[in-house]
A and B are shown apart, each in its own frame.
Chain A
Amino acid sequence: EEVKVGLLLPFSGVYAALGNDIEAGFELALEEYGSETEATFSLMREDTEVKPPVALAKAKKLILQDKVDVMAGIVSSGVLGAVRDLIDGAGVPLIVANAGNDEATGAHCSPFITRMSFSNGQVNRPMGTWLFDQGITKVFTLAPDYAAGRQMIDGFTETFTAAGGEIVGQEFTPFQKTQDFGPFLAKAKASGAEAVYVFYAGGEAISFVKQYDSFGLKADLPLFGSGFLTSPLYVNAEGPAAEGVITALHYVPTIDNPENAAFVSAFLQKTGRIPSEYAVQGFDAARALIEATKTGASDRDSLANALRQVHFDGPRGTLSIDPATNNIVQPIYVYETVPGEFGLSQKVLAELPASADPLNGCAMAPVSN
C-alpha cells in the first residue's frame, strides 16, 4: 500500500541547513528500513521558508489537495504553532522532526502530533542535577530572549535549584540582534558564579563561543550549556574556542552503540557529512513512520494511533513515545567538545537516563485499542 508523506521543511531562509539535514536523514531511513514494511512511501516536499503563513498554506495544500496520509518535518516552533490547529482538525498525523517548544506536547498537544525530536525542557532538565553533582553550586545563565531560550533555561534552572544550586544571575539577550556578547560576559564574570550555563544555536552560538573564549573566561568560569551550542553543524566554525565546553543533547555522532555506528557511516556515505542531531531526528522520524506502518496502519487515523505507540532502538539509544503527551522519551548525553581526528569531536561524558516530560497541561484522549 502506498503511504503519501508530506515533508514540511525550510529549504530556504535561516534554517535551510537544518531542513537539508532532516530531509537527508529521513530519506536515509526509508532507504535502509523501508523494506521492513509492506508499505511503500511517496514523498512530497514543501518549503516553509520558516514563515508561519507560508507553512500553513503549504500544509493545507498537502492535506487538502495532495491528500497526504502523514506529514513530517517542521523546524521552527512558530511554524508548528501555525499548522497545529489545521493538523489537529484535519486529523492528519504529523511527526515533528525538530520544533521543540514545550507546549506542542503540553498545553497544545494533539493526538495527531507526535514528536520524534526533543522538547526544550527535556534536553536541559537532566543537566541541572548533573551539574550540581559535579560540585558546581553557583551558575550564571544566558540565552536569547525568545520562547525557546526561556524554556531551555527554565528546564535547567528547575532541576538545578531543586538539587540545591543557586542561579546568581540570569540574562536573556535580544534574539538575533545581539552581535556582541561582551557586555553580558563581563556581567557573568562579575556575578561570582562558578560556571556559566547557556543556550544558543546557529550563528549566535558561534559568536558566543568565540567571544567567550576570546575573553579567556573558559579557565576560571567553565562553560556549560544546552548541546545545540556546540552542535556538530556549527562546531567547526567555532574552532578551538569550543574545546572543553561541556553540554548536553539527545544526540551526538560519537554515541557508542552499533545502531549509531551504522547510521554515522551510512549518512557519511550518503552526504559526505557527519550527521547532526537534525539528521538523526529526520532519520528517526522516518523510522517511526516505518514502525507504525508495520502494525498495518496506512490511513490517517490508524497511523496517528500507531505513531503514539512506537518504540525502537536507534542511534540515540532506546526511544519511545509517551502516549500521555506524544513526546519522545529518550536518554540525554553529556558531552565535551574535544579535538579529534577530523576537526572537533564529541566525547560523551555521561548518558543520563530517559524520563518522560511532565504533562505541562496536556490533556488528550488515551490511545485507542
Chain B
Amino acid sequence: MFQHTALRYTALILLAAGAFAQAVTAGYFGLEVLTEILLLAMLVLALDMVAGFGGMVSLCHGALMGLGAYAYAILTTKAGIAPPVAMAGAIAITGVAAWVIGAIGARSHGIYFIMATLAFGQMAYSYVFEAPLFGGDDGMGGIPRLDLTLIGLDLNDSRSFALFCLLLLAASYGAAVLILRSGLGRSLIGVMHNEQRMRALGLTVWRIKADVFGLSGMIAGLAGALAAQHVMYISPGPLAWTVSGEALVVVILGGLGTLVGPMIGAAAFVVLKHEVSNVTSYWHLVVGVLLIAVVMSRANGLFGWIEARWGARLERRLSDLTRKSDAEEVPTDA
C-alpha cells in the first residue's frame, strides 16, 4: 500500500512550498513554466497510479489527457456548455474512455498492455488529426477559462491560473492517495503482485483494473481540461504517443510507485528542458544522456535514489525528535 514516510511528507511540503512561492513571485514566463509543470505533474500522477501500483504501464495517458482537453474544448466552444459543467463532463468522458481501455486491456500484460494502450491512443490521435470537425492538425482555439470571479479569482490572470492548477493538483494527489489506500487500491497492488492468486481468491480482476484505470483517466482528463484552458487552444499534438512516452519517462525518472517522485520528476524534466533548450537546440541529446545516467545509477528514479540514501536516516531522526518532544503521545502505526 502507498505509505507516507517522513521523507515523502518532507518532499511534499517542499514541493508545495516551492510551487506556491514560484506562483506568487514568478514572472510571466516563470508562471507558464510552473503551470506546465503542474499539469505534467497531474498527468504523471495519474500514470503512476496505474503503472506504479497496478503494473499497467500505459502509453495512452497523453491521449487521455488530450481527450479531456478536446472534450472540454468541444463542450464549451461547439456545444456552448458552461465551463464548470464542461469540465465535469470532460472528466467523466475521459474516465469512461479510460475505463473501457482498462477493461479491454485487462487481459494483456507487460509489453502487450503497453501496445494495447498505444493502439487506443494512436487511434484517437489519428482520428482527431484528420477530423475537420475538430480543426484537424490546425487545432481549435477560443477555449474559455473557468470563471471564478465569484470567489475573487480571475483565472485569465496567469498567476491565479497557476494557483488554481496547484490547488487542483493537490486535490488530485489527495484523491490518488485515498484511492490507493482504499480496498480498491489494496486489491490493485495484490493484482500487480499476483494476478492469478487474486482471481483464485474470488476477485474479479478485470473490474479492479478497469476501475482504477478509469479513475486514473479522470485525473488525466482533469489535467487535459486544465491544459485546454491554459493554452486556450488545443491541437492533436499532445495526443501523440511521444507525449505519453515522455510522461512515462518522467514517472520512471522520478521514481515509479512513489507518487511524490514522479511529481518531482515533472518539475525536473520541464525545468531541465527549458534550461537546456535555452543553451542549445540539441536539448534532446543532453536530456537523453542525463536519462541514461540516472537509470544507470540503478535507483528507482531520482526519488527512489533519495529514499534509498536518506529515507531511513530521516525517518529515524524524525521519530527521535517526536519521541523527545511528546514522549507521552501514543505513536500512530506506520
Binding site for B on A (CB under 8 A): 11-12, 16, 47, 49, 51-53, 56-58, 60-61, 63-65, 77-78, 81-82, 84-86, 101, 103, 108, 145-148, 150, 172, 174-175, 177
Does the CB pair A82–B139 fall under 8 Å?
yes
Task: Tell me, yes or no, whether B141 is within 8 Å of chain A by CB.
Answer: yes
Contacts of A175 in B (CB 8 A): 129-130, 137
Q: Which residues 92-138 of B have a CB within 8 angstroms of A?
A: 126, 129-130, 132, 135-138
Task: Tell me, yes or no, whether B83 is within 8 Å of chain A by CB.
Answer: no
Contacts of A51 in B (CB 8 A): 237
A94, chain B: closest CB distance, angstroms: 14
Complex alpha-carbon distance, A71 and B54, angstroms: 48
Q: Which of B42-50, B56-64, B225-233, B255-263 lies on the face that meets chain A?
A: B225-233
Does the CB pair B141–A81 fall under 8 Å?
yes
Does the CB pair B32–A81 fall under 8 Å?
no
Does the CB pair B232–A146 fall under 8 Å?
no
Does the CB pair B138–A78 fall under 8 Å?
yes
In the complex with contacts A16-B281, A53-B230, A60-B28, A85-B142 CB distance below 8 A: yes
Q: Which residue of B lies closest to A172 (CB)?
A: B130
Contacts of A84 in B (CB 8 A): 141, 233
Binding site for A on B (CB under 8 A): 27-29, 32-33, 36, 126, 129-130, 132, 135-142, 158, 227, 230-233, 235, 237-238, 277, 281-284
Does the CB pair B29–A147 fall under 8 Å?
no
Contacts of A101 in B (CB 8 A): 138
A109, chain B: closest CB distance, angstroms: 13
Contacts of A86 in B (CB 8 A): 232
Tell me whether chain A's interface is mostly helix, strand or loop, or mixed: helix
Complex alpha-carbon distance, A57 and B233, angstroms: 12
Does the CB pair A56–B281 fall under 8 Å?
no
Tell me whether chain B's interface is mostly helix, strand or loop, or mixed: helix
Does the CB pair A57–B137 fall under 8 Å?
no
Task: Give 10 closest A-B pairs by Cβ, nearest first.
Answer: A61-B29, A64-B28, A57-B32, A147-B136, A11-B281, A147-B138, A146-B137, A82-B233, A78-B235, A12-B281
Does the CB pair A60–B29 fall under 8 Å?
yes
B139, chain A: closest CB distance, angstroms: 5
Q: Which residue of A lies closest to B278 (CB)?
A: A47
Does the CB pair B277–A47 fall under 8 Å?
yes
Does the CB pair A82–B137 fall under 8 Å?
no
A30, chain B: closest CB distance, angstroms: 21
Does the CB pair A103–B138 fall under 8 Å?
yes
Contacts of A53 in B (CB 8 A): 36, 227, 230-231, 238
Does the CB pair A145–B235 fall under 8 Å?
no
B193, chain A: closest CB distance, angstroms: 38
Residue A60 contacts which of B126, B139, B158, B284 (CB distance < 8 angstroms)? B158
Q: A12-B281, A53-B36, A64-B28 are in contact. List 5 more A-B contacts (CB 8 A).
A: A52-B237, A61-B32, A64-B29, A101-B138, A147-B138
